[in-house]
């Protein structure tokens, strides 16, 4: 280390060669510093809710894959569907709740895949047992994460795909209103 490296104040007396040698021995071998800055790491990324993102993707995939064509989905509160050729009077009676409901399937609390399986099982059993009009309770979606009726839309699409379903209509308020459907089934063959 040279004299320039040792900083002195102008009022300090000059250092003797013995003091310089003593300082070098006390400090030991030195290396020049290339940078006096400490390397800073970038801050870690914010945590991501991966499980919730995966659940949201699964719901979105299910909504997009099984609903049929977009024009088949109802956008209003009331769901209504009739197979081509079904008489208007039959549909009118269904909407008014004039058919006796002989079985019910409540899908509250089911995930989308669970609801689909439960609905398929219920419709198969109802048809075998000769039920003509059944009620499906899908809920209004007030407790869903999106505050929208996820199962309501899905059930409407699934019912249109089922051969045993002739028609469906949102229930009267006393029977669940827009959180339930009356479903008219084909007679067993």
pTM tops 0.75, yes or no: no
Rounded to an integer, what distance in angstroms lies between the CA atom of residue 58 and that of residue 128? 32
- Would you say 91 and 184 are in contact if contact means Cβ atoms under 8 Å apart? no
**Which residue segments constitute the domains of the chain, with CATH numbers given?**
79-185 (3.30.1370.110)
pLDDT digits (tens, 9 = 90+) for 78-108: 889 999 998 999 999 999 999 999 999 999 8
Q: Residue 181: its pLDDT value, please?
A: 93
């Amino acid at each position: 280390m040279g004299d320039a490296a040792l900083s002195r104040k102008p009022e300090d007396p000059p250092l003797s060669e013995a003091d310089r040698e003593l300082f070098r021995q006390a400090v030991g071998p030195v290396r020049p510093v290339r940078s006096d800055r400490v390397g800073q790491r970038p801050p870690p990324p914010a945590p991501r809710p991966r499980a919730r993102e995966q659940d949201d993707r699964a719901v979105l995939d299910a909504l997009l894959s099984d609903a049929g064509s977009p024009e088949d989905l109802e956008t209003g509160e009331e769901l209504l569907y009739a197979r081509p050729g079904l008489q208007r009077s039959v549909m009118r009676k269904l909407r008014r709740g004039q058919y006796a409901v002989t079985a019910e399937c409540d899908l509250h609390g089911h995930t989308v895949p669970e609801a689909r399986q439960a609905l398929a099982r219920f419709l198969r059993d109802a048809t075998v047992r000769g039920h003509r009009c059944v009620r499906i309770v899908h809920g209004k979606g007030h407790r869903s994460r999106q505050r929208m009726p996820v199962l309501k839309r899905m059930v409407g699409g699934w019912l249109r795909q089922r051969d045993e379903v002739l028609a469906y209509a949102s229930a009267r308020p006393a029977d669940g209103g827009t959180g339930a459907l009356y479903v008219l089934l084909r007679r067993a063959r």
